[in-house]
Structure 1
Amino acid sequence: MKLIPSHMPVVESARVHSFASIETPYSWWLALVTLVITSLSFGAVTSIPVLLKPLAHDWNVGVGTIASVHLTAMFGAGLGSLLLGRLLDRHGFFCIAVVGALSTTAGLVLAANATHLITLHLAYGILIGGVGQGAFFSPITAALAQWFDRNQALAIAIATSGQGIGGLCLPTLLRWATEGWGWRLTLTGYGIGAGLIMLLCALAFRKAPSSSPSISHEANGVRTTPAQKRRCVWVLGMGIGLSNLAAFMVIGHLTAYGEEQGFAPVSAAMLVSVMLGATLVSRFSFGYAANRWGRYPTLLLMSALHLFGIVWLVVAQSYFFLIIGIILIGLGFGGYLPAYGVLMRQLFPASEAGRRISEIYFFAFITAGIGSGMGGWLRDLTSNYVVTFSGAATSASLAFLILWYQRAAFVSELPPIAE
């Protein structure tokens, strides 16, 4: 048993209680529906990094200018998730899901018909990012978590796995369609098709989740004062912020980097698919790893993998070694993202889940946008991606160091976990 100084906040696992689980077959059906929605939404907001080169060429601007549209989308998503997370706690997720699906379609169609860059910023910042991604990341994750108790870590991992599914399939598809029909027709078709599917999936959220009166805040194993909770939140916020800054300095420019290295456009887009596809391995194994080793130790492990992958990418000299670095980054990114949501959910009761999970992922959205925009600016400044990727490695290093030196604030959980 580890001894923690009395002044340190304690986050520990819930003990297994004898309450009846709220999980039903419908819970797992909702998990599948959530995965479809988040995959399509991620494809919409990631269309900017994937189509960076064609858009820059068509608008006759630098990649940094187009990358700033992704920055706008991420800022919009962060702010939107804060607002929609609070609405979730009060009114449920069904109406949010319907509005999010319609906004994603409207945003992509508007972007496809844009004649000014400001229109792209409005379409991605407000409709696709602010309302669409703002609904279909943090709030939908919190909404799904309300249907689970014993497998809540796995549920959150599934909800965030849309980045992996969407990242595995959609970048190559979007780039291939753009080669044949142009980016405008591609965005229009994707917006209409994805919007219809998301609307149908939203119907599954008409049913309200079951409640478990026997589960209290203390049953979640939280024994922290408000001041200690704030400290934990700031540690997690700095960790996810710096990690995502690093991740999107890479993700936001990987396709463009591949094209500059001489790869065919579709092959360059596949680099993003490989990276985000690798996230699926760590996302779907996160629940087991968290139960086996503890949630915070798992977060540390995934953050270390993420850092090692970016450093590997900086020094990679061949396509083979480039792929290895990309896979390592994907594994780390895929594991650390749900870990933050799970730790936040453990700190606070279910009645605050929407707001609290949205707050921690707000840091992720904002720094993701900054990372994407900063990466483009550094590339235009230096005419290559060496400084961009080196900056990403520095940011990932800072994130890991903060998490490592603050590890005493968290106690590793012992399985099994029941919440």
Structure 2
Amino acid sequence: MTQQPPNRRALFWICVLALFTAALSNAVRAGAANAIKLAALDPIDAQHSGEMIGTVLGSSFLGFALSLLVISPLLDRIGAKRAIMVAAACYTLGPVLVLLAAGAGSSVYVLLNLAMVVWGFGWGATEASINPVTATIYADDKTGKLNNLHAWWPAGVVTGGLLSLLFFKSLDLPWQALVGLCAVPGVVLGIWASRHSFPRTESAVQGVTFGEMMAEPFKRPGFWVFFAIMFLTASTELAPGAWVDVALTQTLNAPGIIVLIYVSAIMFVMRHFAGALDRRFSDMGLLLMCTVPATAGLYLLSTASSALPALIAATLWAFGVCFMWPTMLAAVSRRYPRSGPWGIGLIGFAGALAIYFVLPELGRIYDDAKLAKAGGMAAFEALPADSPALHAALAYAAEKSFKTVAIIPVVLFFIFGAVRLTERKRKG
């Protein structure tokens, strides 16, 4: 058994802060998305502003994916401590670059995307380091501890969502003030992480060489099944989370970020029960069960036009997606331990890549639907601001985008079922 470092508790909470900061940033980006779209993108291209803000939001996931791909295989060489310090630097620099980009005139779209890539790179550096560290220091309870760690993702989302409401609704502050605030936890993270030493990963302790670690996923075809699955699970959880404010603000006539706050609060609580559920149903059994409420929740979110239906839909969606990301990481670490941080990083890369492609697609569906409902581009541009007809067009667009995503967990139901049956037959 791997010898645990004496500062295991401190390391876990550093990992928590790193993930909390990533989630806080993600929620702020989602909460400020509509304001950024109105202030920076509508003036330069109102016809495609939905797709543009979807691409801007997706660029943070591109940075996330690139960071995972670069840092994960090199984690034992550069060290988890340096990776977390890189994350802290990106969490500090990213918001600053967004603020600078917003005043760049006609270049705002390009510069916003570049700023989001840097910001998202910190998130990827976080995932590339904290998941292998947690799997190493808690090797006897990977599913439980990884879910405990990732419970702080929704906690960060709740905090970021509440800050969005406070800044925009109560204090009536500009979105720039909220984005700038995100740099503060990045500075704290860098200072705290610099004072501790981090262990080598589980695969390194077991004597797996760099070449063996890199080759492991390619020698095990089953690994790529999980890679494909993660592409879909991330699309079920994170894409709607990033899109919720742009879409549901129109259907509920209230900030859509409220739904994200509520969902995240449920996820924070539920992820603390993952270890017990894993021991009772297995990781594949747990994931299989999650697809049913996820499907129902996403479909009902697409049709919700008032608070109560939205609350019911959000509850179902929360119960459906709460275990998906961390349980997928634990499942891969358990089945392919010799792939080490590279294997975990590849799975995270699949999730990030999914969102990078899915968010712009949601934006395109949204734009096409709003124009179709209004009767064309000229008719849409002629609609008065805050008119019932404009609200109806945007609400219809939100409905179409969420119904599209609701198909994904249906596909996952059959995939998880097939994997579970195959593994049970293999065991005898």
Quickly name the TM-score band, shorter chain normalised.
0.7 to 0.9
- C-alpha distance in structure 2 between counterparts of 1:210 and 1:93, whole Å: 9
Indicate the larger mover: 206-215 or 383-392: 206-215
- C-alpha distance in structure 1 between counterparts of 2:129 and 2:4, whole Å: 19
Per-residue CA distance 1:195-215 (angstroms, 9 max, x = gap): 212113323652425979997
Contact 1:247 1:392 in 2 (8 A): no
- C-alpha distance in structure 2 between counterparts of 1:174 and 1:316, whole Å: 22
Aligned to 1:281: 269
Q: Confirm or deny that 1:349 pairs with 2:337.
A: yes
2:415 to 366, 385, 402: 402
Per-residue CA distance 1:63-110 (angstroms, 9 max, x = gap): 321121111111221121111111213232111111111122111101
| Aligned ranges 1:55-66 → 2 under 5 Å | 55-59=36-40, 60=42, 61=46, 62-66=49-53
Q: Cα–Cα, structure 1 residues 188 and 28, in superposed 2: closer, same or farther, change >3 Å? A: same
Aligned to 2:404: 391
Indicate the larger mover: 28-37 or 403-412: 403-412
- C-alpha distance in structure 2 between counterparts of 1:103 and 1:87, whole Å: 18
Q: Cα–Cα, structure 1 residues 210 and 403, in superposed 2: closer, same or farther, change >3 Å? A: closer
Q: Cα–Cα, structure 1 residues 154 and 26, in superposed 2: closer, same or farther, change >3 Å? A: farther
Q: Confirm or deny that 1:183 pairs with 2:179.
A: no
Q: Confirm or deny that 1:270 pairs with 2:258.
A: yes
- C-alpha distance in structure 2 between counterparts of 1:129 and 1:212, whole Å: 27
Aligned to 2:213: none
CA drift of 1:338 comes to 1.1
Aligned to 1:202: 193
Per-residue CA distance 1:4-48 (angstroms, 9 max, x = gap): xxxxxxxxxxxxxxx5x7456732332222112201122223433
Aligned to 2:147: 157
Contact 2:99 2:180 in 1 (8 A): yes
- C-alpha distance in structure 2 between counterparts of 1:118 and 1:210, whole Å: 38
Contact 1:249 1:388 in 2 (8 A): no
What is the identity, as a one-letter code, of the residue corresponding to 1:402? I
Secondary structure at the residue paired with 1:261?
Answer: helix
Aligned to 2:389: none
Aligned to 1:117: 109
Q: Cα–Cα, structure 1 residues 319 and 210, in superposed 2: closer, same or farther, change >3 Å? A: closer
Contact 1:100 1:135 in 2 (8 A): yes
Q: Cα–Cα, structure 1 residues 403 and 199, in superposed 2: closer, same or farther, change >3 Å? A: same
CA drift of 1:317 comes to 4.8
- C-alpha distance in structure 1 between counterparts of 2:159 and 2:23, whole Å: 11
- C-alpha distance in structure 1 between counterparts of 2:198 and 2:252, whole Å: 51
Structure 2, unaligned runs of 5 or more: 209-215, 371-396
Contact 2:259 2:310 in 1 (8 A): no
Contact 2:66 2:349 in 1 (8 A): yes
- C-alpha distance in structure 2 between counterparts of 1:247 and 1:103, whole Å: 24
Q: Confirm or deny that 1:310 pairs with 2:298.
A: yes
The structure where helix makes up a greater share of residues is 2
Contact 1:242 1:396 in 2 (8 A): yes
Aligned to 1:28: 9
Q: Confirm or deny that 1:129 pairs with 2:120.
A: yes
Per-residue CA distance 1:258-308 (angstroms, 9 max, x = gap): 32135344xx32211111222223322111111222121112112333223
What is the identity, as a one-letter code, of the residue corresponding to 1:280? F
Q: TM-score, length-normalised on structure 1? A: 0.83
Q: Confirm or deny that 1:299 pairs with 2:287.
A: yes
- C-alpha distance in structure 2 between counterparts of 1:325 and 1:212, whole Å: 41
Contact 1:248 1:371 in 2 (8 A): no
Secondary structure at the residue paired with 1:206?
Answer: coil
- C-alpha distance in structure 1 between counterparts of 2:425 and 2:128, whole Å: 25
What is the identity, as a one-letter code, of the residue corresponding to 1:325? A
- C-alpha distance in structure 2 between counterparts of 1:228 and 1:137, whole Å: 24
- C-alpha distance in structure 1 between counterparts of 2:217 and 2:242, whole Å: 37
Indicate the larger mover: 358-367 or 399-408: 399-408
What is the identity, as a one-letter code, of the residue corresponding to 1:110? L
Aligned to 1:362: 349
- C-alpha distance in structure 2 between counterparts of 1:186 and 1:170, whole Å: 9
Aligned to 2:71: 84
Structure 1, unaligned runs of 5 or more: 1-18, 218-224, 415-419
CA drift of 1:139 comes to 2.6
Aligned to 2:225: 235
Higher relative contact order (CA 8 A, sep 6+): 1
How many residues align? The count is 381
Over the matched positions of the two proteins, sequence identity in percent amounts to: 17
Per-residue CA distance 1:140-184 (angstroms, 9 max, x = gap): 211222111222222211332232111111122034224532112
Per-residue CA distance 1:376-400 (angstroms, 9 max, x = gap): 2211111221221111111221122
Runs of 4+ aligned residues of structure 1 deviating over 6 Å after TM superposition are 210-217, 225-228
